[in-house]
A and B are shown apart, each in its own frame.
Chain A
């Protein structure tokens, strides 16, 4: 009997391990910026490091209301133009004296900026530089432009395909050996003048503040986790630990993307009613199995 039990345990452990691996495997994805993507282009490491007690996911515009003036809303890589309701919520959020940090280089963030009355614009073109973190002109090293920023700024940051910004006060600038690669050939052509370009700017909108970083790729695992990008990590960690609450926009952000099994799993996890039903079903199943064993 004891041998049979041992064998049953071994088989059970092997099956549990297999199921665990399968679930872990299927719960991840390879979508750009996805918080569920553990690969180089996902943002799982950044989201893993967030303080759960201080961080709140925002999934509906209404959830932005009622925060005190020391709250920061982080919008990473918005993938569509915001709705009127979302813009109204952003504006009200700023009106309460809070801060919005927008990280975007696709230009979709421009609709948000214009909608909330900011004069900052994300310009088209890839910022390129001879001062690069890796052997690619798009891996630009940018430098602190001011000591007195609204957030603690590192001496330098390594960016990955940033865009130039216009408007606002510069917080981080590229070096003079930089140019905007308008035709995407990674070379310096006629009409692509060299100079410094702002990549992080700030401005006050009403009683609130908007900070724009023209590169959401700073959040991806390969720019966040690697040892040589310690400045990036420290900056984001410091930034993600403000005095007040940190809100993460999951309404209009590629970081919320999920697909396939991972999509289903994360819907289950994030929908309380479904979660309660599943927990109830599991408890009932356990009770039934227990009872059967007892008989």
Chain B
């Protein structure tokens, strides 16, 4: 096959490959999972969802558990007439309900078990609040009745008593309503694996409260015992250990006794409320032998000494001191690459000796904008920020407020948001283009080099048979000129003069060129020299002393042969150049 044709085929093939690659390079199948976002009816691209926020029951359930546990201590506080405490707990209960409602809206769970729990817990709260208010009112009325009795004002005493009876009638059936709500809460909570013990206990307490209100004579109201003296030893409390750090578990235990005449009995199945710094910490129940025990981790308890005591319905323990030691924390922050609208995902974690749960983390960007988020049960947080174009710094801070943990902040992360709105350089594509360009350039350079070498057609040390004129069968052997030079022993000048006379300057100049070209081809071992132009022949003699003379000869030869009318001067110049080139070639050979 012809060499040129072969190279044309290879070139077409090569260009075809590059064209096929260029045509499909924007959506290659050798793609990254992250960028491949086309919709599928069968599944979702998990890779594309990774940067988004995540909610699961592990995040939600602890909050819901706290929410349903509120009713236990509130009912107990009402039962023992600790109204202030009941009010505080109801307030916290209301706040917790707000966050649960937000969660339901956010997660679109209007018809979920959590929504059912929220609805029924709200009803429980309403009943508890109503009972608390009734208790307070009845207590006031009772005091007023006593006062009117002492003043012998029977009319007013009767009025007050009747008013009390009206109020008592209103609580009728509240315990049934409360029990129904509790059953529903329990039912829903058990479905999602929550502990309903405290909530169920509140139902019994409410029964007791309602019974007390309805039958004040049968069961005297247990008025908050303000004269209880700490350390009367009817309820004891021990802590183990008495010092701890964040999330260390403290064991609270003791025994509750009751006096009956001169006999001291163990108080079985009575509620014991543990207080820390005068705020209820937990409610436990004594066992059949009057013992109670609770293991509670240190969570949101400030560092320092805290007073802890236990209360039974009729007694109060001595004060114990729990010393909480502060620990250092570390805050970590990762910031995702900004998308086209400048949105970045800030994720990270807060660690003390354990992951810090439900902690507020401030995300501060450019030292001027603050966003607050919360850690989940694993101590991790995530927050999306929309940044304007430009360079920004982001840092996450944990203040440690409310925790026995020292504050900490993350390393500052720098983020560049493209100044061109909506444009994000595709570095992968740029890299592909650069690599393609390098391959193309290398290929072009290699092809050019190869073609230049082929054009020169310098074949080192060829077979002597390939050299023109050395083989009797050589097609390139110009018979007439060989005859002229060898057989007739005619010089170039003589042959030129004869042809000039017989056929004219054009034919003579052609023969002179062929003569010198043949010599050059032999000298430089150029194959098929006849397929080369005169100028290409002139380029093959580089490095030879006669090369510049031959080049001058070629220049005038082209003018003489192809330039139309030839002047005498041109003919003279041609003959001079011819003789000069021949002389130098002769000199080279000798």
* Chain A residues in the interface with B (C-beta under 8 A): 1, 3-4, 7-8, 10-11, 14-15, 18-19, 21-22, 24-25, 28-30, 32-33, 37-41, 77, 105-106, 130-136, 138-139, 141, 158, 160-161, 175-177, 187-190, 192, 194-195, 216-217, 220-223, 225-226, 229
Contacts and interface: CB of A to CB of B under 8 A. Distances in A.
B112 A28 contact: no
B52 to A, nearest CB: 4
Contact of A188 (B44, B55, B109, B460): B109
B460 A138 contact: no
Contacts of A3: 453
A134 B29 contact: no
B281 interface: no
B21 A25 contact: yes
Contact of A226 (B29, B47, B55, B107): B47
Interface residues of B, number: 51
Interface stretch (B327-335, B407-415, B441-449): B441-449
Nearest to B46: A222
Contacts of A141: 56
A188 B192 contact: no
A177 B188 CA distance: 11
B316 to A, nearest CB: 42
B2 to A, nearest CB: 15
Contact of A15 (B14, B29, B191): B14
B13 interface: yes
Interface stretch (B30-38, B71-79, B241-249, B511-519): B30-38
The 8 closest A-B pairs by CB, nearest first: A217-B43, A134-B49, A135-B52, A28-B29, A160-B43, A18-B17, A40-B33, A7-B450
Contacts of B28: 25
B57 interface: yes
A241 to B, nearest CB: 25
B371 to A, nearest CB: 19
Given A139-B46, A190-B111, A194-B191, A130 B60 contact: yes
B113 interface: yes
B53 A175 contact: no
Nearest to B443: A14
A7 B453 CA distance: 10
A19 B42 CA distance: 34
26 contacts: A4-B453, A7-B449, A7-B450, A11-B443, A14-B439, A15-B14, A18-B14, A18-B17, A25-B29, A38-B31, A41-B43, A41-B45, A130-B57, A130-B112, A134-B46, A134-B50, A135-B49, A135-B53, A138-B44, A160-B46, A161-B43, A177-B112, A177-B192, A217-B42, A222-B43, A229-B46
A153 B346 CA distance: 35
A161 to B, nearest CB: 5
B133 interface: no
A77 B45 CA distance: 17
Given A41-B45, A176-B191, 20 more contacts: A7-B453, A11-B10, A14-B446, A18-B21, A28-B30, A39-B29, A40-B46, A106-B42, A130-B56, A130-B57, A130-B112, A131-B56, A131-B57, A135-B52, A136-B49, A176-B193, A177-B57, A177-B113, A217-B42, A223-B46
Contacts of A220: 43
A211 to B, nearest CB: 20
